[in-house]
């Protein structure tokens, strides 16, 4: 999805600063223009990590063009891969041995969790190792 990114143009001693109006509090920087899309994706992923907030709609550049807080830089549209940050629950079909499923359900229940929540947390923990 194309999101507007406000760029504070850098120079030989300063990186290009980035602000993301649709992700309040999200900032980044890039030394080179070609690094802006990659750094923007990384910043938004870090900003949204663990938040479980709905994805915001992209604000139109027409709405932002005359905003007084954005008058000394330039706008870019950056294609953010929202599949990497979308917290919307997705129903899936998996096969797990019945005895393991029984153990998972008992474990999750004893901790006040759901099967889905437990499996999601277990997957996150495994991927962070």
Burial (Cβ within 10 Å: 0-12, 13-18, ≥19) of residue 54: exposed
Residues forming a β-bridge with 14: 11
| pLDDT tops 90 at residue 49 | no
Q: Encode pLDDT of 20-29 as tens digits.
A: 999 999 999 9
| pLDDT tops 90 at residue 13 | yes
The residues spanned by each domain of the chain are: 2-84, 98-128
As a whole number of angstroms, the distance between CA 114 and CA 20 comes to 34
Average pLDDT, the chain: 93
**pLDDT score for 85:** 84
The mean pLDDT of 33-60, rounded to a whole number, is: 92
50: CB partners within 8 A, 6+ apart? none
Hey, what CATH class is 2-84 in? alpha beta
As a whole number of angstroms, the distance between CA 40 and CA 62 comes to 21
| pLDDT tops 80 at residue 84 | yes
pTM of the entire predicted model = 0.72
**pLDDT score for 9:** 96
| pLDDT tops 90 at residue 88 | no
As a whole number of angstroms, the distance between CA 8 and CA 113 comes to 45
């Amino acid at each position: 999805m194309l999101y507007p990114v406000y760029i504070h143009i850098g120079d030989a001693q300063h990186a290009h600063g980035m602000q993301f109006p649709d992700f309040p509090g999200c900032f980044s920087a890039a030394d080179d223009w070609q690094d802006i899309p990659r750094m923007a994706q990384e910043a938004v992923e870090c900003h949204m990590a663990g938040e479980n907030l709905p994805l915001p709609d992209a604000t139109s550049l027409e709405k932002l063009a005359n905003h007084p807080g954005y008058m000394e830089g330039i706008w870019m549209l950056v294609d953010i891969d929202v599949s990497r940050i979308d917290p919307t629950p997705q129903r899936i079909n998996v096969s797990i041995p019945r005895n393991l499923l029984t153990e998972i359900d008992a474990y999750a229940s004893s901790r006040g969790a759901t099967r889905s929540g437990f499996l999601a947390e277990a997957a996150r923990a495994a991927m962070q190792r």
